[in-house]
């Protein structure tokens, strides 16, 4: 019989341990790094096993804290696509700034941000996952309203060539008078232009998954518009829907 892929073997092991009650009463599952060290696997293999368990509802992830077993029969609902999930995108990816935060004229972005003129502040970056080598999977342009961008002007994390593990909304929110409470999202397909193609190492015209997100604060005011082009070969977008009641 052909052996199971490594991620499936790990997934089954963790599933059996969860079923046996090893992670009851709030006990955290091992981290990705701990599993990599314990089993001699790649981080991508461990991440794939965790992704399957999350999709099955066996575990849930708390940004900044860890992965936990779901309580049998409990009412916990994992909010895939929540604001917190978006802020935690940086947990296992690297952000590389291609064009630092600066003042620009962009009629479309300014209109979507409900500004009175055409001036926005924009930063262009790509994200990479994995290691040896890291693989680019998305090119993103973030547009900020001037009042919000003022707090980040000169931030080293958003300068040309900066590399880090932050998100723009994570950097921005502490400076806002009110927290970000909504992200309206549009998903379409678009061809890669020359800039996007160069960022993610694909041919111009290659089909990309385009995801636009408009972030608004508790007062309903737009503060950020992000336009991302994901490389389908390196990215899967998954949403879990459940019947209410």
- Architecture per CATH, 6-75: Orthogonal Bundle (1.10)
The tens digit of pLDDT for each residue in 192-241 reads 999 999 999 999 999 999 999 999 998 999 999 999 999 888 777 766 66
What's the CATH code, domain 85-234?
A: 3.40.1410.10
- What element of type H or E holds 171? helix 168-172
Structural domain spans, the chain = 6-75, 85-234
Q: What is the pLDDT of residue 238?
A: 66
The tens digit of pLDDT for each residue in 98-128 reads 999 999 999 999 999 999 999 999 999 999 8
Q: What does pTM read for this prediction?
A: 0.66
φ/ψ of residue 195, rounded to 5: -70, -45
- Round to whole Å and give the CA distance between 205 and 166: 29
Fold identical between 6-75 and 85-234?
Answer: no
The tens digit of pLDDT for each residue in 151-160 reads 999 999 999 9
At 1, list the tokens.
């019989």
Sorting pLDDT into bands at 50, 70 and 90, what band is 170?
A: confident
From the number of C-beta atoms within 10 Å of its C-beta (0-12, 13-18, 19+), residue 161 rates as exposed
- Round to whole Å and give the CA distance between 174 and 177: 8
């Amino acid at each position: 019989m052909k052996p199971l892929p490594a991620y499936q073997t790990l997934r089954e092991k963790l599933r059996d341990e969860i079923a046996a009650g090893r992670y009851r009463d709030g006990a955290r599952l091992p981290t990705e790094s701990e599993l990599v060290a314990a089993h001699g696997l790649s981080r991508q293999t461990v991440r794939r096993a965790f992704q399957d368990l999350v999709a099955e509802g066996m575990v849930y992830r708390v940004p900044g804290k860890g992965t936990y077993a779901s309580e049998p029969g409990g009412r916990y609902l994992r909010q895939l696509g929540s604001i917190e999930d978006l802020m935690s995108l940086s947990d296992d990816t690297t952000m590389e700034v291609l064009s630092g935060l600066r003042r620009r004229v962009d009629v479309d972005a300014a209109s979507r941000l409900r500004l009175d003129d055409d001036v926005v502040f924009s930063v262009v970056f790509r994200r990479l996952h994995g290691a040896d080598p890291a693989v680019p999977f998305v090119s993103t342009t973030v547009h900020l309203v001037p009042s919000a961008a003022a707090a980040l002007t000169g931030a080293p994390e958003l300068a040309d060539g900066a590399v880090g593990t932050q998100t723009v909304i994570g950097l921005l929110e502490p400076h806002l008078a009110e927290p970000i409470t909504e992200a309206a999202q549009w998903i379409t397909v678009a061809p890669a232009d020359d800039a996007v193609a160069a960022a993610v190492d694909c041919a111009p015209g290659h089909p990309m998954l385009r995801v636009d997100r408009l972030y608004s604060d508790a007062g309903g005011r737009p503060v950020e518009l992000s336009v991302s082009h994901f490389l389908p070969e390196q990215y899967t977008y998954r949403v879990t829907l459940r019947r209410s009641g």
